[in-house]
Structure 1
Amino acid sequence: MTHSWKKLGTRASALVLGAALALPSLTAHAATAPYTAKEGDTFWKLSKQLNVPLQKLMNVNPNIDPLNIYAGLKLVIPNNGITAASKASPNAVTAQSVTTTAGQSLGFSKVLDIKATAYSDSAEENGWGPVDYFGKPLKLGTIAVDPNVIPLGTRVYVTGYDFSGLPDGGLIATATDKGSAIKGNRIDIFVPGTRQFVSGFGYQSVKVYILK
């Protein structure tokens, strides 16, 4: 009994007032954020998407069977896996969604860095008239794409441009048009207005979120 108390006294004497104690069982989960799994998610896929070490991701989800991750399953993600842009305005980004300036959360599958131009409904730019590839009238939210990069019919969210003819912050659009000059990582954004006004858009680098 006396021997046990001597051990305790020795350990207690090692603690200095104000010293910090490391508590592994708490610190392992301290810096995490909730995440709801989506169809096709795996720990390996999430680790690559979020740039989080696979073992670290598994360590903060000790009760999750790696072979049974299904849509709707609640996980936690280390905070360093949530992009710093999640704190940015106006386009906050989380692991799988982007928030518009209007506060709408949009789920996306991937993000592309794209060179963008703009076009009008003038006859000089539209040999078949002011309609898209499907024959529907051009409108704000129409974009022309290379179908090999962005399939026709894909909904996207475009951000990063600077032009008064488009909504501030970002534009929800649908790929319903294409053109012979639109090849590779290029999009052409329809903008209402005269050809002279629209030409002021020039060439701009934008981000295109492929929406789910």
Structure 2
Amino acid sequence: MAVQSWTDMLKASKKTALIHDGKRKIHYLFKDGKEMAEEYDLETDELIVRKWRQKSTLGGQGQWQVEVGEQLASPVASSGSDVIKENCSNPVLTRKDTKTSFQWRIRNLPYPKDVFGVLVEASERCIVIKTSNKKYYKKFSIPDLDRSQLPLDCSAVSFTHANNTLIVSYKKPKEILTLEQELLQELKKLKGTAEGDIDCKTQ
């Protein structure tokens, strides 16, 4: 049996749209029960947020996992000193794409640009960031390329460093640009309800 392509899965998913706060919010429900939520800027059509959720092993709702955009800080249960919090000076990786590139920002990296090495590990399907002073090492995949089963291209990667932030860009291949364009056209056809007039019937 042929594996269903990502494009087909997107087309077959149940989509609902909501226009709110200058954003087009889309919720996808896939046949396997997974959910994806996206937010697009209404003016620029840029993707601001993409997150995923799947049922937990016990069948309850799992936690949302952010793929694109800022991970919201989880509310602290108590203000006591016994709460373990992440050190705010630790490097923080977030993904914020542009129209033409996948882009990752790693804050709190105060080293000069020439310390950084950013390379593609094609066999492991990931990007590796390492520093010559051995202070930072990070490996991450590009889910968009994995879903569309596209190879990673060494020449598509570039990076800059400013204000203690490393910005890694990966030029989107034409297949991704085409898919995103087609998807956006389809999403714009969805009748997005404005917040406040959502039909609350259960399916």
Q: What TM-score results when the alignment is normalised by the length of structure 1? A: 0.23
Higher strand share: 2
Between structure 1 and structure 2, the one with the greater Rg is 1
Q: What TM-score results when the alignment is normalised by the length of structure 2? A: 0.24
